[in-house]
C-alpha cells in the first residue's frame, strides 16, 4: 500500500444560501486543512468545490497516518518527589500511575530551572480513518453559520439539511456518521439531468465524473468563468455590450450547477423608466444581466442564466420574459403614481415613521439635519437655502412606492422626483449624494449641498446613538456607525473641507435640545470614536503607526489639518536629524514629567551661564521666529524642516549642561528652556513618539 493517497470530503445538501456559499467553501477547507496540520498530517494541493447542493474538499497525497512521536511528560520536582526517608510522595506515586509505570521507571529531566521526574514514551500515530471524522466534525462546528437548522427527527444541525456524505480516502470509504448521515462513495449529479447516484472509485475521479456524467461543474471558479463566457457570447450575438457586475456574477454562480445562458427581452416602453430602476429589477430581483447599446444606452434585452440545458430553450426564454414583465409593470405604475404629488407633500407624513424609539421620528431627524446642514453649508461656502431645502426633502422618497419596492434606490429616486418637481440648484443631486459614500471606497458627494447634507445626516446619527448609550461593541454595529464615521472623514479629507469635528459635535448636540445629560462627555466620546476611525483610514493609506500617534498626541480636531501634520511628520522622520531630536524630546518629556517643582514661565537670559545653553537659547528663539508664521499658515512641513536645525544645539546642550543641577535658579531656568523647546515641537506633533 502507498504511504500517501488522495482524500475527498463531500457534503450533499439542500440548496445552500447563495451569498454565503463561497464563505462556507473556504471555511470548510480552512477547518479541515487546519485540523490536519495540527495533527501533523502533510498533504499536497487542496482543492475546494461548491455548488448550490454541495461543499467539497479534495486533498492530494495525504499521509495514511500520523508519524510516530516521542511524548514526554514532566512530573514533580525531584526536590519534592521524595520524603525525608527517601520514599516517593503521593504526588510522585500518582504521576507514575498516570503514566502506567512504576516509580522506578520514571526518568530525571534536567533543565536550567532544576531537576524533575519525567516519563518518555513513543506514541504511535493514528491512521487517517481514525482522524478524519473528528477533524471534519470540528471544522463543521466552526463554520460561520449565523443560524443553524434541524431536519427530520435527528438532532444534527447545519445550514441546510444534509442528504449524502462522501468520505473517500484512496479507494477506501472512511466509515463515519456525519450530521446524521452515513458516509459512502456515492455523490449526486444534477437534480434534473442526473438525479441518480454516481459511484466514485477514487477521489481523483470526482470533478470529471460530475462534469461528464452528472451535469455538474463542481469548481466554483470554473463555473463562474463559463457563465462569464456565455454572457459575453450572448451579448455579442445581440451586437450589444454587457457590464458584468461582480456581485451578481458570484450570486448567479452560486445558484446553478450547470449554467446555460438564455437571452430575452421586454417591451421597449419600459425604457422610459429610470435606468437604475430597470437595472435593479433585472439584477436584484431577477438575477439577469442587462444589455447595453455600444453608445451606452440600456437595451430592452437581457441575459439570464438557467440551471438546466433545456430541450426547449424558447420555453425557458419565454418563462424569464414572463416573470419580469409584471415587475416592470409594477415599477411603471409606481413611477407614475409617485410623481403625481411632489416630494415636499410627504414631509409631514415622516412624523408617523420612527427613526429610533429614543430619538424620535424621521420628521424629528429631518428638522435636526436641516438645521445642522444649514450650519455646515455656511462653513464650507455652500448655499444655505439649498442645504435646508435638501435636508427637508431628504427622507421623503422613503415614503414613495418605488423605494418601498426597491429600498436600494433610496436617494436616487429622491433625485429623480426632485428634478421632476423643479427643485432648485443642487437640491436634487444632494438627495442622492446624502448617501455617499454608499460603501468603502465609494463615490463622494460632488456638490457643496450634497456634502453638507451627507455630513449632517451622519453626525446627527453618531451623536444620537452615542447619546442613548448604544455605541458599537465588538463586531456589533447595528446602526453602521463605523461606516458613518468613515464617510464623514472621507468627505472632509478628500473633498478638502476644513471643518472642526469637535465643533460639528457641539452643533449636533445642540439640535437635540438638552435631551442628553453630560454633553461634554458625549462630545468627547464621539470625537474619540471619529479619531479612532481616522487612525484606520490613515494607516490603510500608508501612514506609519508611530507618525499617527505623534500627531494624535496633540489632538488636532480638523481632519484636513491632521492630514497636513501627518505629511509633515512623515517627511521629518526621514531627515538625518529626526532620530536625535525624537530621542531628545523623549528625554525632555521624561525630565519635565519627573520634576516635582514649579517651572518658570519664561527663560531668564542672565541665568544662562554655559555656552551650550546660551547657544541653544539663541537658536531656539531664532527658530521660533521663523516657525511661528509658518504654523499660522499651516505650513507644517516647512516648519518641521526648520526645527530640524535644532539638532546640533540640542545635542550640545545635553552633552555639556547638567539640567538637574544643585542651583535651584539655574535648574529652573534650564527646565523652562526645555519646556519652550518641547512646546515648539508640540505645535505640530509629539515627535518623542517616533520610533526611528
Q: Is the pLDDT of residue 232 over 70?
A: yes
Rounded CA-CA distance 50/217 in Å is 9
Give the orientation angle of helix 501-511 with respect to helix 519-540, to 10 degrees.
140
DSSP at 349: G
Rounded CA-CA distance 303/282 in Å is 9
The answer to whether residue 649 is domain-embedded is: yes
The domain boundary, picked from 212, 244, 265, lies at 212
Stronger pLDDT, 230 or 593, i.e. the higher one: 230
CA dist 692 → 31, 577, 643, 687 (Å): 40, 11, 17, 10
The answer to whether residue 37 is domain-embedded is: yes
- How many H helices and E strands in the chain? 24, 17
The answer to whether residue 393 is domain-embedded is: yes
Q: Is the pLDDT of residue 652 over 60?
A: yes
Question: Quick one: pLDDT at residue 642?
Answer: 94
Say how many CA atoms lie within 13 Å of 427 toward its Cβ: 25
Q: How many structural domains does the chain have?
A: 5
CATH of the domain at 197: 3.30.70.260
pLDDT tens readout for residues 112-139: 788 888 888 776 768 888 889 999 999 9
CATH of the domain at 627: 1.10.730.10
Sign of the four-CA dihedral 634, 501, 479, 248: negative
- In the chain, what percentage of residues exceed pLDDT 70? 99
Q: What is the 3-state secondary structure of 379-448? A: HHCCCHHHHHHHHHHCCHHHHCHHHHHCHHHCCHHHHHHHHHHCCCCCHHHHHHHCCCCCCCCCCCCCCH
Is the CB of residue 659 less than 8 Å from the CB of residue 591?
yes
Strand order in the sheet with 260-265: 260-265, 298-306, 289-292
pTM, to two decimals: 0.81
Domain extent at residue 670: 564-689
The answer to whether residue 534 is domain-embedded is: yes
Least confident range from 234-238, 464-468, 594-598: namely 594-598
CATH of the domain at 494: 1.10.3210
Question: Quick one: pLDDT at residue 262?
Answer: 96
Give the strand pairing for 162-169 and 181-184. Answer: parallel
Question: Quick one: pLDDT at residue 225?
Answer: 97
Q: Is the pLDDT of residue 336 over 50?
A: yes
Query: How big is the chain, counted in residues?
Result: 692
Task: For residue 484, give the nearest of 459, 451, 505 by alpha carbon.
Answer: 459
Return the C-alpha cell found at 262: 438564455
Return the C-alpha cell found at 412: 436616487
DSSP bridge partners of 302: 264, 290
Rounded CA-CA distance 30/24 in Å is 10
pLDDT tens readout for residues 428-441: 999 999 999 998 88
Q: By CB neighbour count within 10 A (0-12 exposed, 13-18 middle, 19+ buried), where does 535 fall?
A: middle
pLDDT tens readout for residues 353-378: 999 999 999 999 999 999 999 999 99
Q: Is the pLDDT of residue 75 over 90?
A: no
Mean pLDDT along residues 69-88 = 83
Where residue 21 falls among pLDDT bands split at 50, 70, 90?
A: very high
The answer to whether residue 252 is domain-embedded is: yes
Using DSSP's 3-state secondary structure scheme, residue 166 falls into strand
Where residue 2 falls among pLDDT bands split at 50, 70, 90?
A: low
Is the CB of residue 49 less than 8 Å from the CB of residue 25?
yes
Q: Is the peptide bond before 612 cis (omega within 30 degrees of 0)?
A: no
The answer to whether residue 553 is domain-embedded is: no
Rounded CA-CA distance 260/208 in Å is 19
pLDDT tens readout for residues 189-200: 999 999 999 999
- Whether 576 and 675 share a structural domain: yes
Q: Is the pLDDT of residue 498 over 70?
A: yes
User: Residues of 584-596 as b/e, b for ≥16 C-beta within 10 angstroms?
Assistant: bbeebbebeeebe
Cα dihedral angle (530, 535, 540, 544), rounded to 10 degrees? 160
Question: Quick one: pLDDT at residue 85?
Answer: 83
Rounded CA-CA distance 89/56 in Å is 54
Stronger pLDDT, 338 or 660, i.e. the higher one: 338
Rounded CA-CA distance 462/369 in Å is 12
Q: Is the pLDDT of residue 550 over 50?
A: yes
Question: Quick one: pLDDT at residue 71?
Answer: 72
Q: Is the pLDDT of residue 289 over 90?
A: yes
pLDDT tens readout for residues 584-624: 999 999 988 888 788 888 899 999 999 999 999 999 999 99
Q: How many CB atoms lie within 10 A of CB 542?
A: 8
Where residue 84 falls among pLDDT bands split at 50, 70, 90?
A: confident
- Whether 239 and 382 share a structural domain: no
- Whether 570 and 658 share a structural domain: yes
Give the helix ranges, DSSP H, for 122-245: 128-141, 206-212, 220-237
End-to-end CA distance of the chain: 59
- Whether 500 and 589 share a structural domain: no
Using DSSP's 3-state secondary structure scheme, residue 306 falls into strand
- In the chain, what percentage of residues exceed pLDDT 90? 79
- Whether 606 and 519 share a structural domain: no
- Whether 290 and 408 share a structural domain: no
- Whether 200 and 251 share a structural domain: no
Give the helix ranges, DSSP H, for 14-89: 21-38
Question: Quick one: pLDDT at residue 1?
Answer: 41
Q: How many CB atoms lie within 10 A of CB 149?
A: 12
Using DSSP's 3-state secondary structure scheme, residue 153 falls into coil
The domain boundary, picked from 338, 366, 384, lies at 338
Rounded CA-CA distance 393/421 in Å is 11
Where residue 154 falls among pLDDT bands split at 50, 70, 90?
A: confident
Mean of the per-residue pLDDT values of the chain: 93
Rounded CA-CA distance 332/268 in Å is 12
- Whether 372 and 258 share a structural domain: no
The answer to whether residue 549 is domain-embedded is: no
- Whether 62 and 73 share a structural domain: no
- Whether 394 and 495 share a structural domain: yes
Is the CB of residue 304 less than 8 Å from the CB of residue 248?
no
- CA 645, chain centre distance (Å): 42
Give the orientation angle of helix 519-540 with respect to helix 545-552, to 10 degrees.
150
What are phi and psi for residue 198, nearest 5 degrees? -120, 120
- Whether 250 and 327 share a structural domain: yes
Distant-in-sequence, close-in-space partners of 109: CB < 8 Å, separation ≥ 6: 72, 74, 115, 116, 117, 118
Return the C-alpha cell found at 661: 543641577
- Whether 662 and 525 share a structural domain: no
Rounded CA-CA distance 201/114 in Å is 57
Q: Is the pLDDT of residue 343 over 80?
A: yes
Rounded CA-CA distance 370/375 in Å is 9
Rounded CA-CA distance 63/129 in Å is 11
The domain boundary, picked from 123, 156, 189, lies at 123
The answer to whether residue 558 is domain-embedded is: no
Amino acid at each position: 500500500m502507498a504511504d500517501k493517497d488522495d482524500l475527498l470530503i463531500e457534503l450533499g445538501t439542500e440548496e445552500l444560501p447563495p451569498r454565503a456559499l463561497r464563505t462556507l467553501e473556504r471555511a470548510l477547507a480552512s477547518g479541515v486543512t487546519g485540523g490536519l496540520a495540527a495533527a501533523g498530517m502533510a498533504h499536497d494541493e487542496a482543492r475546494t468545490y461548491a455548488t448550490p447542493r454541495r461543499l467539497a474538499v479534495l486533498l492530494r497525497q495525504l499521509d495514511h497516518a500520523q508519524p510516530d512521536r516521542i511524548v514526554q511528560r514532566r512530573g514533580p520536582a525531584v526536590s519534592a518527589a521524595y520524603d525525608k526517608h527517601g520514599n516517593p510522595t503521593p504526588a510522585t506515586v500518582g504521576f507514575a500511575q498516570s503514566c502506567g509505570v512504576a516509580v522506578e521507571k520514571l526518568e530525571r529531566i534536567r533543565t536550567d530551572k532544576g531537576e524533575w521526574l519525567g516519563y518518555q514514551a513513543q506514541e504511535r500515530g493514528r491512521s487517517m480513518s481514525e482522524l478524519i471524522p473528528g477533524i471534519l466534525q470540528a471544522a463543521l462546528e466552526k463554520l460561520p453559520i449565523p443560524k443553524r437548522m434541524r431536519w427530520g427527527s435527528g438532532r444534527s444541525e447545519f445550514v441546510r439539511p444534509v442528504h449524502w456524505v462522501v468520505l473517500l480516502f484512496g479507494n477506501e470509504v472512511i466509515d463515519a456518521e456525519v450530521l446524521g448521515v452515513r458516509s459512502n462513495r456515492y455523490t449526486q449529479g444534477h437534480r434534473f439531468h442526473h438525479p441518480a447516484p454516481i459511484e466514485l472509485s477514487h477521489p481523483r475521479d470526482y470533478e470529471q465524473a460530475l462534469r461528464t456524467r452528472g451535469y455538474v461543474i463542481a469548481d466554483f471558479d470554473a463555473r463562474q468563468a463559463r457563465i462569464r463566457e456565455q454572457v459575453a457570447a450572448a451579448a455579442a450575438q445581440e451586437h450589444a455590450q454587457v457590464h458584468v457586475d461582480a456581485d451578481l456574477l458570484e450570486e448567479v454562480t452560486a445558484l446553478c450547477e450547470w449554467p446555460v445562458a438564455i437571452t430575452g427581452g421586454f417591451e421597449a416602453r419600459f425604457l422610459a423608466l429610470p435606468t437604475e430602476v430597470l437595472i435593479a429589477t433585472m439584477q436584484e430581483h431577477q438575477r439577469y444581466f442587462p444589455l447595453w447599446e455600444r453608445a451606452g444606452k440600456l437595451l430592452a434585452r437581457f441575459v439570464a442564466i438557467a440551471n438546466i440545458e433545456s430541450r426547449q430553450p424558447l420555453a425557458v426564454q419565454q418563462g424569464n420574459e414572463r416573470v419580469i414583465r409584471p415587475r416592470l409593470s409594477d415599477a411603471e405604475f409606481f413611477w407614475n403614481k409617485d410623481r403625481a404629488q411632489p416630494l415636499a407633500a410627504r414631509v409631514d407624513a415622516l412624523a408617523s415613521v420612527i427613526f429610533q424609539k429614543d430619538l424620535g421620528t424621521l420628521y424629528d431627524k429631518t428638522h435636526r439635519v436641516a438645521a445642522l446642514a444649514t450650519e455646515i453649508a455656511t462653513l464650507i461656502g455652500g448655499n444655505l437655502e439649498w442645504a435646508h431645502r435638501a435636508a427637508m426633502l431628504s427622507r421623503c422618497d422613503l415614503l414613495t412606492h418605488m423605494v418601498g419596492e426597491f429600498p436600494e434606490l433610496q436617494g436616487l429616486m429622491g433625485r429623480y422626483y426632485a428634478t421632476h418637481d423643479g427643485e432648485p440648484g443642487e437640491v436634487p443631486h444632494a438627495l442622492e449624494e446624502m448617501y455617499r459614500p454608499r460603501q468603502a471606497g465609494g463615490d463622494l458627494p460632488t456638490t457643496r449641498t450634497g456634502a453638507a447634507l451627507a455630513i449632517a445626516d451622519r453626525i446627527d446619527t453618531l451623536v444620537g446613538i452615542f447619546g442613548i448609550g448604544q455605541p458599537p461593541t465588538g463586531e456589533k454595529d447595528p446602526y453602521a456607525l463605523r461606516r458613518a464615521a468613515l464617510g464623514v472623514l472621507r468627505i472632509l479629507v478628500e473633498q478638502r473641507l476644513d471643518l472642526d469635528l469637535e465643533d460639528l459635535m457641539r452643533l449636533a448636540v445642540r439640535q437635540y435640545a438638552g435631551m442628553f445629560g453630560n454633553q461634554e462627555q458625549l462630545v468627547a466620546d464621539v470625537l474619540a470614536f471619529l479619531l479612532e476611525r481616522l487612525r484606520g483610514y490613515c494607516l490603510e493609506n500608508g501612514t506609519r503607526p508611530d507618525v499617527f500617534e505623534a500627531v494624535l498626541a496633540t489632538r488636532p480636531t480638523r481632519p484636513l489639518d491632521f492630514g497636513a501634520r501627518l505629511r509633515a511628520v512623515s517627511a521629518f522622520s526621514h531627515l538625518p536629524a529626526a532620530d536625535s531630536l525624537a530621542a531628545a524630546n523623549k528625554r525632555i518629556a521624561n525630565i519635565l514629567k519627573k520634576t516635582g517643582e514649579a517651572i518658570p514661565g519664561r527663560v531668564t537670559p542672565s541665568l544662562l551661564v554655559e555656552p551650550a545653553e546660551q547657544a541653544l537659547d539663541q537658536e531656539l528663539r531664532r527658530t521660533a521666529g521663523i516657525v511661528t508664521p509658518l504654523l499660522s499658515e499651516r505650513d507644517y512641513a516647512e516648519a518641521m524642516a526648520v526645527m530640524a536645525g535644532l539638532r546640533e544645539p540640542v545635542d550640545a546642550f545635553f552633552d555639556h549642561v547638567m539640567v538637574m543641577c544643585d542651583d535651584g535658579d539655574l535648574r529652573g531656568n534650564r527646565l523652562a528652556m526645555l519646556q519652550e523647546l518641547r512646546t515648539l515641537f508640540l505645535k505640530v506633533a509629539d515627535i518623542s513618539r517616533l520610533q526611528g
